[in-house]
Amino acid sequence: MTSVEFLAWVRGPMFQIAVAIFVVGVVIRLIEIFALGRKADLSEPRGGETMPGIVTVFRRSIPDPGTFKRSPFTIVLGYLFHIGLFITILFFVPHIELFHDVLGVQWPGLPTPLVDAVAIISIFAMLAILVNRLRNPVLRFLSNGEDYVVWAATLLPLVTGYFAFHRMLFPYQTMLGLHILSVEILLILFPFTKLMHFFTSFVARWYNGAAFGRRGVQS
């Protein structure tokens, strides 16, 4: 398979397969979660549910002072990586053009040098997270194979995208194809691994906040 044929394959059939698996997998996982339901709370409500749930989603996204004091390094790296990944995916102009082609929507992008710098910061943050995980006995004990697979699957699109943009390692068409393939692997793994926390964490936070709000307690 030539580089042109490889690029055409990952941009065509493989992309469609990956998106289909991602969408169907996420929908099924969410249906499974919501189908579990919850027992009816027959107690007299002492407060509302909607706003406490929304407030908890935002409050739990910010580490409390005690947690930050115990693990400042891990928390700062986590924020750098997640924010950097968010910016790289949503505000890199070629990515915006892809969203426009697939979904029909677009928005202003950020200057390419800025996104490039953010991508580098995200890559080094992820490498530092891995080193910290391997050096910390507790984190290393709590980690399993899935954690490292998820780490690698998340890092590869950043690295291959950076190499493709800067024409490094392989010819551009080959590197671009590898970048697209790495994204497709991430999409395929998403519904079946801890990557699903992107969706479930917000649901769980809202549920906890709503449950406590009904009882008149701040979560």
So what's the pLDDT on residue 47?
A: 61
Number of neighbouring beta carbons within 10 Å of residue 130: 16
Provide the token pair at 86.
């968010």
Residue 48, phi then psi, degrees to nearest 5: -85, 175
The pLDDT tens digits for 46-62 are 666 666 666 666 676 67
Provide the token pair at 136.
């910390």
Distance CA 159, CA 170 (A): 13
User: What is the arithmetic mean of pLDDT over 173-195?
Assistant: 93
So what's the pLDDT on residue 74?
A: 79
Burial of 189 (0-12, 13-18, 19+ CB in 10 A): buried
So what's the pLDDT on residue 84?
A: 92
DSSP 104: S
So what's the pLDDT on residue 51?
A: 66
pTM for this prediction: 0.82
The single-letter code of the amino acid at 6 is: F
pLDDT greater at residue 58 or residue 113: 113
Evaluate whether 109 touches 94 at the Cβ level (below 8 Å): no
Please check the confidence at residue 94 and state whether its pLDDT lies above 60. yes
Domain 3-33+64-214 has CATH 1.25.40.10: no
User: What is the arithmetic mean of pLDDT over 25-47?
Assistant: 74
Distance CA 39, CA 162 (A): 49
pLDDT greater at residue 191 or residue 37: 191
Number of neighbouring beta carbons within 10 Å of residue 161: 26
So what's the pLDDT on residue 213?
A: 64
pLDDT band at 157 (very low <50, low <70, confident <90, very high): very high
The pLDDT tens digits for 120-138 are 999 999 999 999 889 888 8
User: What is the arithmetic mean of pLDDT over 189-213?
Assistant: 77
The length of the chain is: 219
The domain ranges of the chain are 3-33+64-214
DSSP 136: -
The single-letter code of the amino acid at 103 is: L
So what's the pLDDT on residue 67?
A: 67
Distance CA 70, CA 64 (A): 10
